Amino acid sequence: MKMLFVVSCCWLMMSCSTDIEHYQASTPQLHIDEYFSGELIAWGMVQDYKNQLTRRFCVEITGTWQNNVGKLAETFYFDDGEVSYRNWQLVKQANGRYQGSAEDVVGIAYGQELGAVFHWQYYLQVPIDGQLVKFFLDDWMYSLDQQRVFNRTKMKKFGVTLAEVTLFFDKSHPQQRCERADNE
């Protein structure tokens, strides 16, 4: 009986997801291929399941597009001195849909832009204590204006949110660079 209750609660929580169609009329419109073109910078943080801040970081991003194929080169600078890289290969498809891959992404990432929103979902391998742990990422980007995008990501394992990542992208000062923990 307890197991049935737990399964029912999990099913109800997972079925309460946001539908991107809700944002169809929202503005300003977010076009991923336009926004992530050229140089931009982002600042973010990771919070655990208790909402406690566990890490902060800055990301330098360079995006290039040729027709419907894009590349995003991301360099992450974490507050503990770690530096990591992710190189996205993106393909724009019909109806605002995208597919993508990167070194630490398992399989294919799928996303869709509509109105002021981009919804992106994928599996990511994260190194934790010397092991790679696979998380499901449910990623939502919201256009604030032509220069700024706000991003919230839930990191899930077995349908349970274990961490959240919050990012603020800014394209208005492309010459700005991340401060590095090692004072480079």
Query: What is the model's pLDDT at position 15?
Result: 39
Q: How far apart, in whole angstroms, are the C-alpha atoms of residue 85 and residue 104?
A: 9
Q: How far apart, in whole angstroms, are the C-alpha atoms of residue 84 and residue 178?
A: 13
Q: What is the pLDDT of residues 135-154, one digit of tens each?
A: 999 999 999 999 999 999 99
Q: How far apart, in whole angstroms, are the C-alpha atoms of residue 163 and residue 135?
A: 10
> What proportion of the chain, given as a percentage, has pLDDT over 70?
88
